[in-house]
Amino acid sequence: MRILALIESPNHVCYRYRIAPYRRALTDRGIELSVQPVSRRTIGRLLQWRRAAKYDAVWLQRRLPAVWQTALLRRWAGRLIYDFDDAIYQRDSYCEKDSHDAKRLSRFWAVMQAADLVFAGNEYLAQYAARYADAQLIDRVPTVVDTSRYTLATHESKGDGIDLVWIGQASTAPSLLEAAPCLTEVGRRLGNLRLRMIADTSVSIPAVNVEPIPWSASTETAELAASDIGISWLPDDSWSRGKCGLKVLQYMAAGLPVVANPVGMNGVLVRDGENGFLARTSEQWSEAISRLAGDPLLRAKMGAAGRQLVENQYSVHAWEEKVADSIARVIGAIDT
């Protein structure tokens, strides 16, 4: 059996966390996974679609082709699997236009109608997909991390301040700026607050010493483990409720407690008082970070609880058999 994954690029975060981790489990079931970036040109895309007939299934990730292109892919693909981990049927939080996008929504509808199996990154996305597809064809598959790659933070007592960490990219940096008033309040309270920003960009926040750290796949886990507290802030809107919490999962995999606002998956992953703190106001952020800054044993305890949650519910190990079995069933590689 052979399946073709059509993706943005092999370096794209969604491929690295939502398709690549399942190659081994698929191979164990006799399913060969091939990967190709979706062609940018229409003619190249149609040639890809046509060659898809050679495979038992196509695994399309996130892309929303024109309705007529989806119809052709459905015609030529043996089976169609669709994976999405954002509210791609609308515009994002920082678009100047209204969030509703009729073209995206019509394309999303077409893909939902065509798919034999849908992997939705969280319950919010799964419920939305069920408006346009048979709910029995929708699997909620969270974004997962390979915990074996992550070393644990040591949480030694520090006398020279505390290190927050934020990991992301330029497209999500505006959410960090929205948290700036809260972080400024913390910085003024503690007097020596560092923010290690692992990204392809940087920001400036009053009263906070921002340390830009270029992102690299080979160093990201070590940089996380060298920090003390992971932070996440999401705008309270429908786009953010579709986010799947990757940065929070990475913090927890590295054994870091997390301070986040209770929006979307932040409120699901962060269990207030157990593996971190949920905070909305500047006062709540200041209290949560100050408490963690002064108590390395609490940081270690919460970090261990977060690591355990990821290992049990959001790790490659926890999901690879389930995902591989769902794909095997839809292409007839195992009995239903």
- Segment 168-222, tens digit of pLDDT: 999 899 999 999 999 999 999 988 899 999 999 999 999 999 999 999 999 999 9
Please give the Cα distance from 152 to 137 (Å, whole number): 38
Question: Which of 271, 231, 277 has the alpha carbon at shortest distance from 250?
Answer: 231
Residue 93 covered by a domain: yes
Angstrom distances, CA of residue 259 to CA of 12, 143, 177, 284, 293: 26, 20, 15, 10, 12
Token match 């939902």: residue?
112
Is residue 264 located within the same domain as residue 209? Answer: yes
Domain assignment of residue 217, yes or no:
yes
| Residue 335 placed within a domain | no
The backbone region for 60, taken as left when phi is positive above 0, alpha when psi lies in -120 to 50, beta otherwise, is beta
Residues 300 and 275 in one domain: yes
Q: Say which residues have a Cβ less than 8 Å from residue 68's Cβ, sequence separation at least 6.
A: none
Would residue 336 count as lying in a domain? no
Whole-model pTM? 0.94
Contacts of 63 (CB under 8 A, 6+ apart): 6, 8, 38
Residues 125 and 191 in one domain: no
171 and 284 in a single domain? The answer is yes
* Domain-embedded: residue 163: yes
Length of the chain, please? 336
Domain assignment present for residue 190? The answer is yes
216 with 261, same domain: the answer is: yes
- Collapsing DSSP states into helix, strand and coil, what is residue 246? helix
Same domain, 108 and 205: no
Question: 302 and 153 share a domain?
Answer: yes
Does 134 share its domain with 111? yes
So what's the pLDDT on residue 334? 60
- The CATH number of whichever domain residue 18 belongs to comes to 3.40.50.2000
Q: What is the pLDDT of residues 27-69, one digit of tens each?
A: 999 999 999 999 999 999 999 999 999 999 999 999 999 999 9
Residue type, 37: P
Tell me how many domains the chain contains: 2
Exposed, middle or buried, 160 (CB in 10 Å: 0-12/13-18/19+)? exposed
Q: Is residue 116 domain-resident?
A: yes
In a domain, 206, yes or no: yes
Q: Whole domain around residue 164: which residue ranges? A: 147-313
Q: Is the Cβ–Cβ distance between 264 and 247 less than 8 Å?
A: no
